[in-house]
Amino acid sequence: MNAMLSSSSRVSSGIKVDISRGQRIGRVSSEWFSRPDDERYLSLSELHHAVKNRADHARARTVESSAIRVEATRDNVERLELIIPGERQPIVPTHWSYSQLCSLVGAPATYMRQLPAPLAAINLQHGLLNHRTELVKTLEMDDGRVELRAVTGPEYGRIWDHELVAAVMKIAGDGTGDTMWKVPGLLDWASMTHNPFVDISKDTTTLYASDRDVFVFLVDDTHPIEAGRLPSGEPDLFFRGFYAWNSEVGSKTLGIASFYLRAVCANRNIWGSEKFEEISIRHSKFAAERFAHEAAPALTSFANSSPAAFVAGVRAARERIVARNDEDRQTFLRRRGFSKSETGRIIETVLSEEGRPPESIFDFVQGITALARDKTHQDSRLELEGKTKRLLESAS
């Protein structure tokens, strides 16, 4: 069994895949659907320039909440402005920072937006004057117009979006194929092949940034990994991928997810994923230190790691026979917490897809994974995926 094709054997055409196996991950597809053109970038250097430029025009500081003055502008009764100590001119909050400000003082943002600006200003001012923590941290940006991008608690530990992008660039260059890590190609549904070589456009890119976050998805889809054989006798091929996200204004954590996958379709769904692992870091007091000592090294480690352990794990799961008859199959699943109906569906799924009943741990994993894909509730799906992970780990 070949662990991985060498760089000299880099594929030059589509990779035949079987996406009926493994999990489907819709996270990237959700990002793809929601991003307008001005949030889509064609290279990591272009993305880095954009998020670094806004950081260069930003200033973060801690101020007394009671010293902030809230005013309704005279020429627009629907608009609020803030007078912050040390700033000569009024600052306009963004939609996001206004929500944060309301949350800090315990006011419902949706309701506050329905009030006339003068009345909303009175309520916000009262909240700031009586804010228990007394201090807030502001992030202000001046690129011709002073804007309040974020307002958080004083212990907020900011990790800048450009820091995450720079960490990705260390392993992926421009993300366009100048290294092994690149924007993914596309699955051809007609031939069931994943084509790594697709032009990067606004429609195909997986490099995103808005005024409140950054998101990057890259793969190494020109160096497929063989991890066993399909029932047809063809190789079961995977490639590596990861996505990473951050928000320097506090709308989400920083996180990195790594996995093996079989294909990415046009709307950027990830198909046939295995060994999904994720780390996340809250923007608390020591977030920057944790990013430097945990997240960035983890990304580099995954990028440079050998797939041998993954291949060995799949091989062990395929070779470990745990059921030789119907009674064994029923007992194996019921002892692991599956209901009678779930047990029947898992066995039927493997029989349908493989042409034989499940025998090895890998067979059962594929059946459980298929069952998880049909679960509409996330908690139920995550519970099944957790059982899948434990089963695979028990084989190694």
Q: Specify the pLDDT at position 41.
A: 97
38: its two tokens? 């001005």
Nearest to 183 by CA among 159, 213, 218: 218
Q: Specify the pLDDT at position 116.
A: 84
103: its two tokens? 């949350």
CA dist 244 to 209, 218, 268, 289, Å? 12, 9, 15, 18
Q: Specify the pLDDT at position 5.
A: 41
Q: Specify the pLDDT at position 244.
A: 94
Residues 189, 195, 198, 204, CA torsion sign: positive
Q: Specify the pLDDT at position 310.
A: 80
Question: How many Å apart are CA 256 and CA 172, to the nearest integer?
Answer: 15
- Spatial neighbors of 296 by CB under 8 A, at least 6 apart, are 167
Q: Determine phi and psi for 48, rounding to 5 degrees.
A: -60, -40
Low-confidence ranges of the chain (pLDDT < 70): 1-12, 73-78, 376, 378, 395-396
CA dist 112 to 98, 108, 163, 174, 388, Å? 10, 6, 34, 43, 46
Helix orientation angle between 44-56 and 161-172, rounded to the nearest 10 degrees:
150
HSE (side-chain half, CA atoms, 13 Å) at 129: 8
Helix (H, G, I), strand (E, B) or coil at 92: strand
Question: How many Å apart are CA 199 and CA 309, to the nearest integer?
Answer: 32
Q: How would you class 341 by CB atoms within 10 Å of its CB: exposed for 0-12, middle for 13-18, buried for 19 or more?
A: exposed
Q: How would you class 110 by CB atoms within 10 Å of its CB: exposed for 0-12, middle for 13-18, buried for 19 or more?
A: exposed
Q: Specify the pLDDT at position 11.
A: 67
- Spatial neighbors of 329 by CB under 8 A, at least 6 apart, are 323, 343, 347, 357, 358
382: its two tokens? 């995550």
Query: For residues 37 and 210, is the Cβ–Cβ distance under 8 A?
Result: no
- Left (φ > 0), alpha (ψ -120 to 50) or beta: where does 329 sit? alpha
**Residues across the chain:** 396
Query: For residues 259 and 131, is the Cβ–Cβ distance under 8 A?
Result: no
Beta bridge partners of residue 137, listed in sequence order: 62, 152
Beta bridge partners of residue 92, listed in sequence order: 147
**Which parts of the chain fold into alpha helices (H)?**
27-34, 44-56, 95-104, 109-114, 117-129, 161-172, 287-290, 296-304, 308-319, 326-334, 340-354, 361-373, 378-395
136: its two tokens? 């807030």
HSE (side-chain half, CA atoms, 13 Å) at 117: 16
Q: Specify the pLDDT at position 74.
A: 59
Question: How many Å apart are CA 148 and CA 332, to the nearest integer?
Answer: 58
So where are the chain's domains?
7-53+159-306, 58-142, 320-395
Which residue reads 């272009």 in tokens?
A: 46
Nearest to 167 by CA among 7, 260, 301, 306: 301
Q: Determine phi and psi for 119, rounding to 5 degrees.
A: -70, -40
